[in-house]
Structure 1
Amino acid sequence: MVSFDCATTRRDGVTLVTARLWEIDEPTRVRVRNRLDGPVWPPRRQGMPEAGWTDSGFEAVVGPGSHALGYATPAPPADPAAELRDATPAPDAVPVDDRTETAADVVRELGDPSPPADAVPVDGAINEPSEPQSPASTPSPESSVRLPDAVDSWLAEMTRRVDRAEALAAAETLREATTAVGDAGGLAEVRALANAAERDERRLRAVAARAETLADRRAAAGVPVETLARLA
């Protein structure tokens, strides 16, 4: 028989709930429900809720042994804070910690390696990537304007990253996730892509803001050629 207990800690207006499951002899589907009057804030990894968590608690197959489950909620503590609603043996099921079935599962498995050293603006300059890149595929009103090669190559690299990130985010099945990860170059590349997301966004916005400011200044800075010619 599965044993269960839980405890709470209140900090800075947030209740931390820790539940413990033990005496589990085989893979078992458990359902733990929050009893507090507030939403469940589940544990997260790489920005994604840990597998098995829902708005009302935790439901998944766990392996033999003991397991600790923790979540937070803005609700004040009460006794009991959570309860074990169900524990059903599932000997043929794969425990939640051992499976990778969805795109979210893939994202949860991402580590935190250093991003690759490739084309990024550094100290106001834009470096060319180490490998030739295809032109940006997203059409725009400015597509007829020829950009400097270094700028065009960097934007093409950013477009490639965004395309891959969108494909990974759109994957909803194991097959789609597998294909998207393969197209991205494997989990190592997916990790690097996820790790660089915030950095890429900041730099793209910084480049866009700087370019717009310079464009406005350039448009306003009309050169009085005739006047200068007379003065000269």
Structure 2
Amino acid sequence: MRRRTLRSLLALPAIAAATALAMATPAEAAVVWNGDADNGMTFREFLCDSGNYVYTPDWGDGRGKHWGFVAKAGTTRCESYGVMVGGSEYNFTSGKAYWFGWEQMTLTDNWGVFFQWKSNGTGEQHDQNYPVIMMILEGRLNVWYVAPGEVWNHVTSVPWTAKTWHKLELGINAQSNTTGSFQLWLDGDLVTDVKNARTWDLVGNKPRWGVYDTNVLAEDQVNWVNGLTMGTTRGDVD
């Protein structure tokens, strides 16, 4: 990820939100991937700086186990990469709708990236890198649409409370041209609705969750994620 300062991120221009997410979905939709920690390792791998780690606590609150991504002070990365379905890595493709649902709680309300719709490529193999990227900055959840040429467009900024569980539902209409779109629902409210966007980079994308590119290097950062699911409609993941 290209390093940017906190101030420069918040100063990036916004683009207008749309009113609907146009997604073609099959008549009989279903959960495609259940990434809950109670099901064991369902990611391809974890990418963590030395000293960082992922653990699966059960706090006896009825949620069972959940993922805890821990980035120690002075480090910048601990995240998941790829999802596994039926023993094989799931093949994301363009022209399809993907919905992701999860609960999330963070230790602090000012750190960095917790989700990337990350490009499969490196260097000249991509020209967006992460068409959809979300961060916690200065007590707010922020969403960017990154257009071709890595042009950052700030589309959402809503309040975020640390040490509290929040429900997120993200829908991405993965398109290699500007017919793509994406929505984000937070705690049952629609907070992001963007269309006319390219949501599929040159060699494709995968989701990543965790802690990345933290802006507060003096503090430990933790992102807890519970009940991860993926389907083709919002109803699959609500």
Please say which structure displays the higher CA radius of gyration: 1
Report the TM-score, using the length of structure 2 for normalisation: 0.20
Q: Which has the higher strand share?
A: 2
Which fold has the larger relative contact order, with Cα–Cα distance below 8 Å and residues 6 or more apart in sequence?
2
